[in-house]
Amino acid sequence: MINKISNWFLLVLLFLTLSSFFDFNQNNEKDKLLIEIISYVIERGHFDPKNIDNEFSENMFKEFIENMDGQHRFFLSSDIGNFKKYKYDLDDQIINSKTTFFDLVYNKLIQRQEIVKNFYEEILNKPFSFNEDEIISLDYKNAPYPTTLNDLKFLWRKRLKLSTLSIYVDKKEDQINQKKIDSSHAILDDYILEKQSREITLSNMKNFFDSVDELNRNDYFNIYINSLVKQFDPHSFYFSPNEKETFDTSISGKFEGIGARLGKKNQQITILEVISGGPVWKGNLLEPGDVILKVSDSSGDPVEVTGMRLDDVVKLIKGPKGTNVILNVKRVDGTVNDVNIVRDIVELEESYAKASIIKKNEINYGLIYLPKFYVDFKSYNERNAANDVKKLIIQLKKEKINGLVLDLRDNGGGSLQTVVDITGYFIKTGPVVQVKSTGGKKQVLRDRDPSIIWNGPLVVLVNELSASASEILAAALQDYNRAIVIGSKQTFGKGTVQNVVDLNKIIAGNSYGNLGALKLTTDKFYRINGGSTQLEGVKSDIIFPNRYSFIEIGEKDQENPLPWDFIGSAQFSPSDTKNNFEYVQNESNKRIVSNTYLNLLKEEAKWVKEQQDQYKYSLNYSEFVRNRDSIVKISKKFDKIGNYRSDLTIDWIEEDRLEIDANNSFKEKRARWKETLTKDIQLNEAINILSDIVQKQKAPILAIK
């Protein structure tokens, strides 16, 4: 990361000087103070601050309404009409630190919530008929708001019916399965199952409104503040005091839970990242893109989480080590099932770089898997990604490898200094990345160490979730012609850096309590060829299909991303190691086109996209089951992909062999990794590419200096 302490120190001093000019007597409420401080800090600290004008006001208006009632649960179209009077007034309210619009929306929301509380039990006290031909659309973004309270009630009836039908289908199937196991089992009548299902839905709704009732004005005002902050870019964010505490815990790297990072998209709770070493990772239970529908423990009824606040869902899922949580999950392929997870402490060891020896046709190749660019910020000389990668390369060279694969798939980034150091292992000296900071200051980070640890054939694996620092490494190696990048059409495209500002240190003599913190985008990455990695990411030299190929998952699919731009090339000398690139690319493309598994994978990727765009559901039992069974049937077609096994032989470096002999737990982890590697089609192609390079180049390997 870039050290921005000096810049922020100057900003703080400037603000302390100017703070005496703010009239706190007139604006003595904490909410107004927050608007004033955050607007000021963003204007002077953000990499690319926007004008707070009518266009800004319109976009903030849409964002805030979406965040307050994105599922159209409470507001009427007449409410939205009243709100629209302020559509182009929010810029003035921000400049003048007023909260008129927020107060109007907040008060109306509380009023509408009370109305819904008064009728949802009435709806659930009457049996549902699942024999009617009725459809519900969950395309909230394009759905109109209900016109009358009766329309709102009708909309709630449909949603409650869908929830109940889903539970009813599960219960009915459970009865059938019990009958298969025990022929004496008496299957419950449908009306009993329907009643039980409604009771569970009622319980879920009570839990939902209990969580709603726990929210106070400050919670909703934080939504308002972030609707403002998010207009600048998707990574800037205001942390309330409680959220800041949670953020600090998350970056400490040690916590008890399931080991997954969650996000919210289209009102759905989505898996953004599976954390290496956590329970989800260990059991291969979830993957990015999966949507959590319900949460329950082993003793309670499931709680629907769609539409809930992300913080509240996290609280439901988190828990002490050794306890169970059950997630009802909609997979990226559209299938729905329950996932039982035993909470545990995330093992940081699995977040570190690791290596394996891969043999093909009696020739050794090396693989280094790097899940993130970790570092001890208190002492860089302690364990970090760069030092570990260097040690692994040296150990792999002792095994007489003829080529190296660097796996950056799913690597979300980390320490920029480790990226610079790692790049230096493959080049003599030269620039690695250009950084442009707030105010236009430019900096070129260089490798100054002339020693080369590996000058042989190199392939870098990436995918859509390779982001930030991992994109810098892949881009630098690509620009120097030191590696062939194979993976998704492009990487994630996050070319920005964020710093966290403690707002309590901005104002002297603050008497309003803890103000929280602001995560702010302050820098932008640029390749040494001058192009930003923002939005465009790194384009693979050889495109390799995967199931996310058609899913909107990158920076370009976020709200308000900063634009791509070009600042001019740094002076660098590319190597000539890619002279045979055209030959290698053609050979690889031939294999990819003719591979049966990859053709099936392409088909699956298109089908997954279709499932992602599916918003309509039947409320008829027979049709609901038919649609679900159809999804399951089609998804089974793609199970064949899981049958793939390469002919690669996997072995371990000497240090790991010794650890395997002495540590059963480590032995099990390596056995699981070996199984994963033999099923990895992209890795197999990387080894094929290295084999092609070796045959064509026959380049000598430099000794370690």
Catalytic residue numbers, as ranges: 468, 479, 494
Phi and psi, residue 88, nearest 5°: -110, 20
Asked if residues 257 and 249 have their Cβ atoms less than 8 Å apart, the reply is: no
Instruction: List the beta bridge partners of residue 136.
Output: 617
For 247-251, which contacts have Cβ atoms below 8 Å and span 24 or more sequence positions? 247/500, 247/517, 247/519
Evaluate the CA torsion angle 551, 557, 558, 559 in order and state its sign: negative
627: exposed, middle or buried (C-beta count within 10 Å: 0-12, 13-18, 19+)? middle
CA distances from 220 to 32, 62, 260 (A): 14, 15, 26
Give me 371's structure tokens. 């899940």
Give me 255's structure tokens. 């916590």
Q: Residues for the chain: how many in total?
A: 705
Measured at the alpha carbon of residue 276, what is the angle toward residues 397 and 487, in degrees to the nearest 5? Answer: 65
User: Would you state the torsion angle of the CA atoms of residues 121, 126, 128, 134, taken in this order, to the nearest 10 degrees?
Assistant: -70
Contacts of 181 (CB under 8 A, 6+ apart): none
Cα–Cα distance for residue pair 152/160, rounded to 1 Å: 12
Cα–Cα distance for residue pair 369/364, rounded to 1 Å: 17
β 404-407/458-461 pair status: parallel
DSSP string, 33-78: HHHHHHHHHHHHHSSSPPP-SHHHHHHHHHHHHHHHHTT-SS--HH
* CA 376 and chain centroid, separation: 23
Q: Residue holding tokens 């088909």?
A: 603
Closest to 409 in 3D by CA, of 277, 276, 291, 521: 276
665: exposed, middle or buried (C-beta count within 10 Å: 0-12, 13-18, 19+)? exposed
Contacts of 88 (CB under 8 A, 6+ apart): 54, 57, 58
The secondary structure of residue 268, as a DSSP letter, is: E
Instruction: List the beta bridge partners of residue 363.
Output: 360
Closest to 425 in 3D by CA, of 377, 375, 468, 460: 460
Closest to 486 in 3D by CA, of 326, 214, 235, 692: 692
For residue 62, the number of C-alpha atoms closer than 13 Å in the C-beta half-sphere is: 10
Q: Which amino acid is at 66?
A: E
Asked if residues 681 and 598 have their Cβ atoms less than 8 Å apart, the reply is: yes
Closest to 433 in 3D by CA, of 374, 464, 475: 475
DSSP string, 83-103: HGGGTTTHHHHHHTT--HHHH
